A = this chain, B = another copy of it.
């Protein structure tokens, strides 16, 4: 049942741009602490921060044939999202594929597997969040699918969903909810700035957030450090 779904819907470009500025932690909180991909996905270099529309790939273990197929489906502003159909650390993607993807406007790759040529990819400023860095090559023998829904690093992703990625990891936002979540994220950012200034001035979160009563009600006890503290 190998299929390529074409002409996927995408979120509004302005909304995607907004997510690129908000960052992962804020977006994730703004949608109720949902949507994080597993923390084992790590960027190949520090400092990249992107958002884009997911072009998804479901690929067999050790076979990167469908990456070539997916690249044809890319539009400027997209991100490739690859999930192997069973766990695999092979290097599915390197500098040639990155050159091709970049030529079509792709902003980066999220891959629950391995990537290689990381020095070249870094020099090209083509960001990748991966499970592994591995030069182990792949074959082109077995079909997979493009733009079907996938589970990538523990998160369910539909083609056209918004992917946000930075040094803290990767988060997915449903396309239909994107505008609403962005608004919540931006409100959150504004709110954080005020708190940051109060905290920098030495105020305590205990006071700013009014936590002392709730802690006492739950039974928190303060005692001097001493002989009977145990563990």
Partner of A39, one of B104, B134, B149: B134
CA distance A86 to B45 in the complex (A): 25
Residues 182-208 (chain A) with a chain B CB within 8 angstroms:
192, 195-196, 199-206
Could you jot down 19 A-B contacts, CB within 8 Å?
A1-B32, A2-B218, A2-B219, A3-B223, A6-B222, A8-B225, A38-B87, A42-B133, A60-B139, A61-B90, A69-B215, A71-B206, A86-B89, A96-B192, A100-B199, A100-B205, A117-B168, A140-B211, A159-B225
Interface, chain A (partner B; CB < 8 A): 1-9, 24-25, 28-29, 32-34, 36, 38-39, 42, 45-47, 49, 60-63, 65, 68-69, 71-72, 85-91, 94-97, 99-100, 102-104, 114, 116-119, 122, 132-137, 139-143, 147-151, 154-156, 159-160, 166-169, 171, 174, 192, 195-196, 199-206, 209, 211, 215, 218-226, 229-231
